[in-house]
Amino acid sequence: MNKEPQYKVMKLEEFDDSCFYRLACSCGIPEDDLEAEVEYDKDGILWLTLYGEHTVADWWGHPSWFGQMWKRITLSLRLLFTGWFKSNGEFLVLEEKHIDSIISFLQSIKRKKKKTKVKEKKDE
C-alpha cells in the first residue's frame, strides 16, 4: 500500500517545515475543495490550517429579496466592526477510498512530525 495519499487528496508542495495539500470534495465542484497547510515548528507543535471558500446562506429564513439583502448587510457590518463572523461549510466524502486517502493524509502528517522531531534531536 502506498504511504502517500492519492484519491482526492493531492500534495501540492513540501518544504522542510511545512506541506500543502488539496482535499477534493466528492461533489466535484472545485470551489468546495479544501486546501490544507501543515506546519511544524521547532517546539514540536503541529499546525493544521484548512482554507476553503464559504458562502453565506442568506436565503435561509429570508424568502424576500429585501430580507436576503438585510442579512448580507448585517453580516458585512459585523465583519467590518468586529473582525469576525460565524460560518460553516460542508465537505462531502462519499467513497471508502476517499476516507482511506484522508486517513493516509493524516498518517503522512504524523510521519512528517516524527521525522521533524528526529531531525531536531540530531541538530541539538
- The domain in which residue 7 lies consists of 1-54+89-124
Q: Are residues 8 and 43 in the same domain?
A: yes
Q: Are residues 83 and 115 in the same domain?
A: no
Model-level pTM? 0.67
DSSP class of residue 58 equals T
Give the count of beta carbons closer than 10 Å to the beta carbon of residue 63.
8
Q: Are residues 20 and 37 in the same domain?
A: yes
Q: Are residues 21 and 36 in the same domain?
A: yes
Q: What is the pLDDT of residue 117?
A: 66
Question: Domain count of the chain?
Answer: 2
Residue 13 has pLDDT above 50, yes or no: yes
Pick from 102, 84, 83: which is nearest to 92 by CA? 102
DSSP class of residue 43 equals T
Q: Are residues 50 and 9 in the same domain?
A: yes
Strand locations in 1-124 (E): 9-14, 18-23, 34-40, 46-51
Q: Are residues 60 and 20 in the same domain?
A: no
Q: Are residues 47 and 64 in the same domain?
A: no
Q: Are residues 67 and 95 in the same domain?
A: no
Q: Please, which residues have CB within 8 angstroms of residue 109's CB and are 6 or more apart in sequence? A: 19, 38, 46, 48
Pick from 96, 75, 85: which is nearest to 7 by CA? 96
For residue 24, name the pLDDT band (cuts at 50, 70, 90): very high
